[in-house]
Amino acid sequence: MKWIFSYLKPMKGRMALGFTIKVIGTLAELVLPLILTYILENVIKTQDIGKIIFFGVIMAICAVISSLGNIIANRMAARVTMIFSSGMRRDLFSKTLLLSARSTDRFTVPSLESRITSDTYNVQNFIEMMQRMGVRAPILLLGGIAITLIMDKFLALIMIATLPLIFIVVYGISRKGVPLYTKVQRSVDDMVRVVREDAQGIRVIKALSKNEYENERYDKVNRKLCKHETYAGTVMGIVNPVMTMLMNLGIVAVVLASAFLVSDGKSSAATVIAFMQYFTLISMAMMSISRMFVMYTKCAASAKRISSVMAAEDELKIIDDDKKGNGSFHISFENVSFSYLGKKKNLKNISVSLKRGQRLGIIGATGSGKSTFVKLLLRFYDADEGVIRINGRDIRSYSKEELTSMFGVVLQNDFIYADTIEENIKFGRDISDEAVVRAAKIAQAHDFISAIPDGYSHHVSAKGTNLSGGQRQRVLISRAIAADPEILVLDDSSSALDYKTDANLRSALQREMSDSTVITVAQRVSSVKSCDLILVIDEGEIIGKGTHEQLLESCAEYKEISDSQMGGAFVD
């Protein structure tokens, strides 16, 4: 919870002013019953209309000050909360983008989504309520108790006797709230995961008529969430009824005691009326405090989840280069091994070296480790063993900006966002219109883009659903090569292209990007056959290495893939 104050500290002046206004308004509200008691006991019996009007005007002024003070303070609180929550969400979102791949895997994307949305909302609500009620409720509670003690100690002590019981109930139940609401938020994570999966696969669900199946899957996580919310709400909901019962018992005791005191002439009806009003104010204050305790439990659970993300350390540390690399190679893997979970090695003893401008093809069965090779090169993960170098330098010695600036990348699950084709290619980078068109021509995308009435200004829907699969891939390839990177990585990026377009793409890359080192990960032999070097990977190991012709002679698995796909014949 301490990190919250770092966001509130810059607004301490505004908050102090808001608290001051809130205090003035609350004190004006607090003196109203006292003025009424004075009027009933001292002014009415004088039958002086002027005095009655005078004190009536004072009560009206106090009421206006109370109302305006609360309105102004609440508006200021809303402003502070807005600034606080926007800064918190911005930093949390920024942190999620900077998390290492391992950290993202550990938190999971659905959980990160719910932390940015529902968890920040819980913290935001508590901060706003604390500004609205965190000052007013204690002043009404303590001020009301102090005034009633001055007015009548006996009646006040009867009322005060119920407060320890109320605090015990509120504190005891609130302690259970944090773990309960932590469970609730985990259930929200599960629900977000299902919604996210169904949103991504909505076309497949419809195509396979699996609506009912997905409804049942959603109902399952929804029922789990409802169960946890109901239990947490039931436990935390005990506070208000128990507190109300204890307060009502206190009121009954005060009324009974005051009846005897008034009949004995030891108290007055005006004092009893004032007592009832103060008791009402104290009851409202206690209700507000109990609500704040409930909100605190939600906030504490959510703040803990947020802080775990904010406090996550960058696992990809920058180290000093060991100076042992061979500068003649552009990219080199030196006995690299890696495991995602630390049990099974997903890559084993991978060694390969490429000179600048060479083409590397990687082929293998699904799950063989092809994409893992790319993720290690991009330093999404650090290798468990061995060293990866670029220009003879350990990639762990590059800053993140230095490393990523070298690459143009198309990943398997890349994305297109809702904007124009031009902006999807530029991707927020300072790239000229000429470079965009050049990239589209190399990627074989210029012709279909030009055929659209809006051309490069055509608005693409989220995920590019108004484009075909091949068109999406060509836009993504255009994005990757628009900045003329020194290393181009194409991870299964031409699977939706026909053989002719794929061949034209490879020819254009060879012709227009001869200075760039290109790594092509593919399932099709035709996509890698023209590469200078081809790796055949199976279960994380290199089982074949060489040119297309060499592998046809030396690697039975590669020849089998080639024959099964093309029958030995290829389209150039």
CA distances from 483 to 174, 193, 406, 528 (A): 56, 35, 10, 23
DSSP one-letter code for 40: I
The arithmetic mean of pLDDT across residues 342-353, rounded, is: 89
User: For 196-238, what is each residue's pLDDT tens digit?
Assistant: 778 777 767 777 777 888 888 889 888 988 888 888 888 877 7
Q: Which of 462, 455, 450 has the alpha carbon at shortest distance from 419?
A: 462
* CA distance linking residue 405 with residue 485, whole number of Å: 8
pLDDT on residue 333: 94
Asked if the domains 319-406+486-565 and 414-484 are classified in one and the same CATH topology, the answer is yes
350 φ/ψ angles, rounded to the nearest 5 degrees: -85, 125
SS3 139: helix
CB within 8 Å of 558: residues ≥ 6 apart:
363, 525, 534, 536, 544, 551, 552
Residue 566: the pLDDT is: 66
- Residue 184 — very low, low, confident or very high, per pLDDT cuts 50/70/90? confident
CB 412 within 8 A of CB 491: yes
CA distance 403 to 382: 13
What the block records as the tokens of 64 is 């206006």
pTM score, whole prediction: 0.74
Distance between CA atoms of residues 369 and 345, nearest Å: 10
Coil/strand/helix, residue 388: strand
Question: Taking 70 as the threshold, does the pLDDT of residue 109 lie above it?
Answer: yes
* 353 bridge partner residues: 332
Q: Above pLDDT 90, what percent of the chain?
A: 29
Task: Tell me the CATH number of domain 2-310, given options 3.40.50.620, 1.20.1560.10, 2.60.120.10, 1.10.10.410.
Answer: 1.20.1560.10
Please state, in angstroms and rounded to a whole number, the distance separating the CA atoms of residues 100 and 491. 20
Ordered DSSP codes for 302-335 = HHHHHHHHHT---SS------S-S-TT-SEEEEE
- Decide: 464 and 496 in contact? Cβ < 8 Å: no
pLDDT at 317 over 90: no
Average pLDDT rounded to a whole number, residues 479-494:
90
Q: Using DSSP, state whether 494 is helix, strand or coil.
A: coil
Average pLDDT, stretch 369-395?
92
pLDDT tens digits, 496-546: 888 888 889 989 998 998 899 999 998 888 888 889 999 999 989 999 999
Which sequence spans correspond to the domains of the chain?
2-310, 319-406+486-565, 414-484
Sign of the alpha-carbon torsion through 534, 539, 543, 549: negative
Q: Residue 529's closest CA among 510, 554, 551, 514?
A: 551
Pairing between strand 359-364 and 517-522?
parallel
For the chain, give the mean pLDDT. Answer: 85
Domain 414-484 coded CATH 1.10.3720.10: no
Q: With left for phi above 0 and alpha for psi between -120 and 50, is residue 349 left, alpha or beta?
A: left
Give the contacts of 117 (CB within 8 A, at least 6 positions apart): none
Q: Kindly give the interhelix angle for 163-200 and 269-310, rounded to the nearest 10 degrees.
A: 40
Kind plus residue range of the DSSP H or E element containing 124: helix 120-133
For residues 275-310, b (16+ Cβ closer than 10 Å) or e, as one string?
bebbbebbbbbbbbbbebbbbbbbbbbbbebbeebe
Q: What is the pLDDT, as a whole number, of residue 569?
A: 45
Band of residue 6 on the pLDDT scale cut at 50, 70, 90: confident
From CA 343, how far away is CA 244, in angstroms rounded? 57
CATH for the 319-406+486-565 domain, from 1.10.10.10, 3.40.50.2300, 3.40.50.12780, 3.40.50.300? 3.40.50.300
